[in-house]
Structures are given as structure tokens and as C-alpha cells.
Amino acid sequence: MSATQRNNVHVFGQGSTPMIFAHGYGCDQNMWRLLTPRFERDYRLIVFDLVGCGKSDLSAYDRERYGSLRGHAEDVLEILTELSLGPAIFVGHSVSAMIGMLAGIARPELFSAHVMVGPSPCYIDDGDYVGGFSREDIESLLDTLDSNYLGWASAMAPQIMGAPDNPALREELTNSFCATDPEIAKHFARVTFLSDNRADLPELRERTLILQCSDDIIAPRAVGEYVHRALPNSTLRIIDNVGHCPHMSAPEAVADAMREFL
């Protein structure tokens, strides 16, 4: 099976410069629909689903391959290679910001820049590092996921979305979480929340825009500031937004920051 089939890839837009969008945990490519029209005229846009999410080929989900974020990073490289598109601007939300970073370190010639939306290289507090969660917090979260995934998804998705004035977006993220295969979701949650990519940050050389929300329960401001200090060629922009999904709840602010950066 080709990478474009496996990852449900769609390519559109009138421009020639490639821009590839990678969604976060529990989401799919549809979550970019409020942002992509703002770049459709000037860029060649690529959207896809991480294997195990959306309309990707669920039978391709291999727990060994995707037992670390590097498996998804390899998928990104396969997609760009198969499409013969690059160097591309990589736009990654949440965990996919780290997936894009790993892909960029492995094959820097395929990327011209990175945009990280709410990135976190490590979710667990460690000494002076503030990740936003204690080890006990994460273990409790994962235990709840294992015992009652749908209940966890229904409770957590609205908090992750934020957007207090837009209940439709909160409901959409809840439905997206609940539509994900529970066994895949549980496995990917462990890979995501137990990952630690802090040591990889200095290896990314391409220009990088870090978009940090002013109020984010998943990636607090201290995390964005840490990523900015660790990346050798980065710009940090704070988006005035409540929640972890500014590309949905504040798409114009995200687009403005991206245009200025690019």
C-alpha cells in the first residue's frame, strides 16, 4: 500500500511551495479546515491522517512501528518522498510538532521551515523543567484511559479544546476522540504522554515558529518558552486564546502569525 493511501493524503492549493499539516492526538485532517483556506491560494497544501486516526488504514497500525513517535515521522518522510514534494513547510499540532521535528532531523533537505502549534517535548515535570504534569498525573490519566476511554474522552476533550464561547468546537473534539479506535487511542496516548524529546530539540536546524496559547492546560507557557530556548533557530509567538487548539478556535490569529513568519 502506498503512503498516500495508508495515510489518507489529500493535496490541493494553487501555489507551488508545499505546506504539510499534521494533526494532534485524537484528531484528524479535518481539524485544519479553518486554517488551510487562508493559505490555499499561495501554497500547495498537503493534509493527512496519522495511522490509527481518521480515515487512515487502521490495519496498518503496528504497535511496534508506532511504539515511538519516530514511526509517524517515517510516515511523513514517505509521504513527501512519494509525492516528490519538498522542501516543505511542516505545520504540526501538539504531538505532531515533535513528529515533524524528528522527520526534519532525519531528512532536513525535505523541509524549509517548521510551525509548531502547542508543542511539548515532554509532558512530565522533571527537576527545573515544567512540563505541566507530574508523573502521578500522567499515570492516573493513562489508568483512566485504560479503564474508561469514552468517559475520559468525553470529560477531557472540552477542556483540551477550551474555546469557552464556542461549544460546537468542544463537541467536535469530543466526537473526534470518541470516534478513535479505543485500543489504538490508548496505545498512542502512552506513546504521546510518556515521550521525551528534549534532547532532540537542538538538532533541528530549520527556521521554526512556536505558537503558544496564553492559556493552555496541555502545553503551559513555560513549555513554549523552553522549546524556544532549546531550538537554535526559533521564533515564539503567544496567541491570545484559551485552549490547546488555536488553529480551530483562533484561526485568523494563527494565520497572521504564520504569514508574518513565512
Task: Just list the catalytic residues.
Answer: 94, 216, 244
234 touches 21 (CB < 8 A)? no
CA distance 220 to 150: 25
Beta strands in the chain (DSSP E): 10-12, 17-22, 43-47, 88-93, 111-117, 207-215, 234-242
CA distance 194 to 138: 8
- Name the residue among 220, 232, 229 with its Cα closest to residue 125: 220
Which residues have CB under 8 Å from 104's CB, separation 6+? 90, 110, 111, 114, 204, 206
Q: Determine the residue type at 239.
A: I
Q: b/e for 173-189, b at 16 or more Cβ within 10 A?
A: bbebbbebeeebbbbbb
What are the backbone dihedrals phi and psi of residue 190, each rounded to the nearest 5 degrees, phi first?
A: -65, -45
